[in-house]
Structure 1
């Protein structure tokens, strides 16, 4: 039965998840994989990339992060939902939604009233889950949607 936990309790999975993210979102990364792995691992301790993961009998299926800054060009914005990824063979089971809600619940519990995200291909998915388009922009050679979700109220 899949369950959620914080990556900081399972750091042996950090490099694997960082590798998956580096591969999935390669267009965003300017740094080599080893540098990203080190940044991602340290982010579990300093709060830069606080990651919630989904495990099934110890096997890593995916994760999502509460990031301090996921879009350097928009340092004026607050905390971010970032790094949402589910292994392809584990998709279609609602795991991403559980991770997203877990991040939102944690953010709300720590006093964060609004989360942001950016996506180039999943705006409809997020819109169905309460995220609003703030603006469209171009980055990494792709059209992006900047989206936000209010956390101060339920849903």
Structure 2
């Protein structure tokens, strides 16, 4: 099932942990609609801006059981289909996150585990809601808590 021009449901629910542990990681209709919204409002425009370079989804939808299995919150926006983690090969993750921060409507943006001068280090977490996006921007470094990104 295609969620948008370049993003499929399959890539947004793929999880080696779910496969290994036999966890059902299939979203319901509302969660699928939320996944479509993040694809259409964040991922597709981002792909267009970065000259059609493929975006690698490293974590998309997570069922509450999967989220718990990976020691994440059952309340995570991943469980609602409102969040994904990703990278764009060949582009600095902090620069990509900065572009999102300055140009997109989003709920939460986290530049995670980025190391200066190591462009492909870390990844980007972004969430999107159909309304009332907070535009919360954070940085998460190894060994530290979340820091507000100003």
TM-score, normalization: structure 2? 0.39
TM-score, normalization: structure 1? 0.39
The structure in which a higher percent of residues are strand is: 1
